[in-house]
Amino acid sequence: MNRRQPSRFFEVVLAILLVGLSGPPSAVAAPNEAGSWTVVRAVSGHFTPREECAFVECDGRFYLLGGRGIDPVDIFDPKTGGWSQGAPPPVEVHHFQPVVHDGRIYIACAMTGKYPREQPIDRILVYEPEKDAWSWGEAIPAERRRGSAGSAVHDDTLILVCGITNGHTDGWVSWCDAYDFKTSRWSVLPDAPRARDHFEAGIVGKKLYAAGGRRSSAITKQVFDLTIAEVDVYDFAAKTWSTLSAVSNLPTPRAGTAALAVGPDLIVFGGESMAQTPSHAEVQALDTRTGQWRCLPSLLQGRHGAGVVLSDGAFYTCAGAGERGGKPLLSTMERLNLQSGNSHEPNGGIAPKLSFTTP
């Protein structure tokens, strides 16, 4: 693939936008259009379209897991450009944010069953890519079970935040829990400032960020309405929660989002809301040092209920739904290339600016 470097004009603009201006931050910086997402066409194989699923990288390969119904794991090898299939999960599993630890993919606080009263799965579900095998992990404490929670790993500990106990109906919670991978023990952390579901969490440094999501309420016919703009932050050192000031609210409140923590940034991708019927294509990044959001290149296809991978200098996303609700299921995969010279691992000391190349 031929890549041309952005013009000097774009380099200057990107440096200003992404490093941040002095003084109080504005709510959102101007759009950054240096580079764009492109369709990835597989050399061989294909994935099963699905939504409320997950897309995650483990040891150089990408894994598309879960979603409504029971489908095989779809595996993409970026070196060969081909898809292959793995074993289906033992149960229907959807509405979850997976984490990777010690070569395994862990799913906790997920849902199973049909809309609108899906039930939380009572145990951790584990997929081991090397063996293409599923297994059951520890039971989740009965009084802390829910689905659609945010998940992240901090110091060999799985952190689970917020979620909803009764599908899309009611029972939003602000709970925060920790599961120690080494001791297999659960502990309760302080509650978040507010309940939310249908979002993904990310850890930047020693802090966990919860942005996006909503309070799903089929009872009041407000499944998509009650989106959340505020950004809540848990400080692992202080063991306390706080809420960023209103100027740092998510510029486009939406749920069903994917999120990645990359260096100093929390990046929120896609989503759904009552503001529009098509799924959101926005990609917005919060610079946690300044509290300022900026717009990154938008997805070619708005999607929600999907995941995003960062690998070898590029973002990848696939699957999800193209409109608010569960349809149409999307069969496309997209990629956004990062500028060479940056570090590309999530939360791995990335340089303070992200820039993009145009294929």
Give the residue-averaged pLDDT of 104-122.
98
Question: Would you say residue 3 lies in a domain?
Answer: no
> Is the pLDDT confidence value at 24 over 60?
no
The pLDDT confidence band at residue 338, using thresholds 50, 70 and 90, is confident
Amino acid at 108: A
pLDDT score, position 35:
81
Question: Would you say residue 356 lies in a domain?
Answer: no
The pLDDT confidence band at residue 355, using thresholds 50, 70 and 90, is confident
Q: 116 CB contacts (<8 Å, ≥6 apart)?
A: 167, 168, 169, 218, 223
**Any idea which residue has 């001791």 for tokens?**
183
pLDDT score, position 336:
97
pLDDT tens track for 134-182: 999 999 999 999 999 999 999 999 999 999 999 999 999 999 999 999 9
pTM for the whole thing?
0.89
Burial of 143 (0-12, 13-18, 19+ CB in 10 A): exposed
The pLDDT confidence band at residue 356, using thresholds 50, 70 and 90, is confident
Q: How many domains does the chain have?
A: 1
Question: Would you say residue 270 lies in a domain?
Answer: yes
pLDDT score, position 358:
61
Of 46, 163, 142, 50, nearest to 97 by C-alpha is: 163
What span, in angstroms and rounded, lies between the C-alpha atoms of 302 and 331? 12
Give the residue-averaged pLDDT of 230-244.
98
Q: 309 CB contacts (<8 Å, ≥6 apart)?
A: 55, 56, 57, 62, 315, 316, 317
Q: Which two tokens stand for residue 161?
A: 């935040």
> Is the pLDDT confidence value at 327 over 60?
yes
* Helix H or strand E encompassing 16: helix 8-19
pLDDT tens track for 51-104: 999 999 999 999 999 999 999 999 999 999 999 999 999 999 999 999 999 999
pLDDT score, position 308:
98
> Is the pLDDT confidence value at 110 over 60?
yes
Question: Would you say residue 104 lies in a domain?
Answer: yes
The pLDDT confidence band at residue 2, using thresholds 50, 70 and 90, is very low
pLDDT score, position 34:
55
**Residue 159's CATH number:** 2.120.10.80
Whether the CB-CB separation of 327 and 302 falls below 8 Å is answered with: no
State phi, psi for 99 to the nearest 5 degrees.
Answer: -130, 155
Question: Would you say residue 352 lies in a domain?
Answer: no
Question: Would you say residue 329 lies in a domain?
Answer: yes
pLDDT above 90 covers a percentage of the chain that reads 84
> Is the pLDDT confidence value at 350 over 60?
no
pLDDT score, position 340:
52
Of 261, 318, 308, nearest to 285 by C-alpha is: 261
Question: Would you say residue 358 lies in a domain?
Answer: no
Q: How does the average pLDDT of the chain come out, rounded?
A: 89
The whole domain housing 197 covers 8-337
Of 331, 329, 286, 284, nearest to 305 by C-alpha is: 329
pLDDT tens track for 289-306: 999 999 999 999 999 999
Of 33, 13, 10, 32, nearest to 293 by C-alpha is: 32
Question: Would you say residue 57 lies in a domain?
Answer: yes
Of 225, 98, 215, nearest to 162 by C-alpha is: 215
Of 1, 70, 86, nearest to 41 by C-alpha is: 1
Give the residue-averaged pLDDT of 201-217.
98
Give the residue-averaged pLDDT of 251-264.
97
